Amino acid sequence: MKLLVIEDDATTGTYIARGLREEGHTVDLVEDGREGLIQATSRVYDVLVVDRMLPKVDGLSLVKTLRGAGNRTPVLFLTAMGSVEDRIGGLNAGGDDYLVKPFAFGELSARVQALARRPQAVEQDTVLRAGDLTLDLLSRKVVRAGVEIDLLPREFALLEYLLRRKGRVQTRTMLLEGVWDISFDPMTNVVETHVSRLRAKVDKPFDTALIQTVRGAGYKIDA
């Protein structure tokens, strides 16, 4: 699984991230709510582990913002605020589960895995659209104007990434991290090459281009 841990206490955050990595998961760790919000909206995660009392943007506001933007990634609140009112507030803000500090790592791991196993029941989470283009995550089919388009796995992943962030510019760095899971610049034109190939399949045969280049910034898909 790909997990994001947002925890401002360095000792706790490192402990959680190390334990989850030892279980075979890919874990990103950030220490403030603003950076956590950027990460959660620019990359695709299976589960978010979020502290409530975060600097810059608090955990409740972070999750409310994500839910308001349509992000349905499961959220486990991890916090020392353990009253009934605190738990209710976390769940009402859009959290899916709530674990109080101090905690046992085994329980945290079990709760994270349980959240990841929950079925995605909302149709918009499995069918992504932009204009006359649809991408079905379950059948792995891409159709535009009634024509099925055959994409290679990486082209499909790139299109999915752009569609999940429809209307928002994605930089080359964001695409490298989100689609290729590369956190450094490999000094190649891999992004540009795949965008060009994707355009040849989803844009060139049709009247309207959906994939747009934003000069000096990156790419976005819009109807």
Q: Are residues 6 and 111 in the same domain?
A: yes
Listed residue (195, 202, 46, 204) closest to 125, CA to CA: 46
Residue 122 neighbours by CB distance under 10 Å:
10
Pick the last residue of a domain from 65, 93, 117.
117
**Number of separate domains in the chain:** 2
Listed residue (65, 60, 58) closest to 95, CA to CA: 60
Pick the last residue of a domain from 117, 139, 157.
117
* pLDDT of res. 53: 92
pLDDT in tens, the chain (223 residues): 899 999 999 999 999 999 999 999 999 999 999 999 999 988 889 999 999 999 999 999 999 999 888 888 999 999 888 788 888 888 898 999 999 999 999 999 999 999 988 765 444 457 899 999 999 988 899 999 999 999 999 999 999 999 999 999 999 989 998 899 887 778 889 999 999 999 999 999 998 999 999 988 899 998 7
Q: Are residues 110 and 136 in the same domain?
A: no
Place of tokens 């075979």: 24
Question: Quick one: 6 exposed, middle or buried, by C-beta within 10 A (0-12, 13-18, 19+)?
Answer: buried
* pLDDT of res. 120: 53
Distance spanning both ends of the chain, measured CA to CA: 31
CB 142 within 8 A of CB 128: no
Cα–Cα distances in Å, from 182 out to 41, 98, 112, 161, 169?
17, 32, 24, 15, 19
* pLDDT of res. 123: 40
Q: Concatenated DSSP letters for 22-52?
A: HTT-EEEEESSHHHHHHHHHHS--SEEEE-S
